Amino acid sequence: GQQVMQIPQYQHVQEGEDFTTYCNSSTTLSNIQWYKQRPGGHPVFLIQLVKSGEVKKQKRLTFQFGEAKKNSSLHITATQTTDVGTYFCAGGAQKLVFGQGTRLTINP
């Protein structure tokens, strides 16, 4: 079945440093979504990418969808303590398959 792999599993940064998480799918994706889950919270939708090579920005967050629509990345510039949490990518048409998530911790 479809698999979505995400790396790294954990990332610890100093506040102000950049952070990137990468997502790879075993199959071509019709779209990819990104979610953020704060500690003790529930996943919250961030964005959906649909087009090959698409790049979208939300303030300090930049999301990319690969040309082959099999990989994606989320980059955070100048992290802040409010960015702490686990970031998940998810892909699939009728069934959304989640990556394992990247847990981001930040040293203030």
Contact positions vs other proteins (CB under 8 A): 30-31, 33, 35, 37, 41-45, 48, 86, 88, 90, 92-98, 100-101, 103
CA separation for the pair 69, 81 (Å, rounded): 31
Closer CB to other proteins, residue 66 or residue 92? 92
CB of 83 to other proteins, least distance (A): 17
Choose between 36 and 64: whose C-beta lies nearer to other proteins: 36
Cα–Cα dist 88/79, whole Å: 17
Shortest distance (Å) from residue 57 CB to other proteins: 18
CA distances from 39 to 33, 55, 57, 82, 104 (A): 20, 27, 24, 11, 10
Taking the least distance from each CB to other proteins, the nearer of 28 and 78 is 28
8 A C-beta contact, residue 89 and residue 3: no
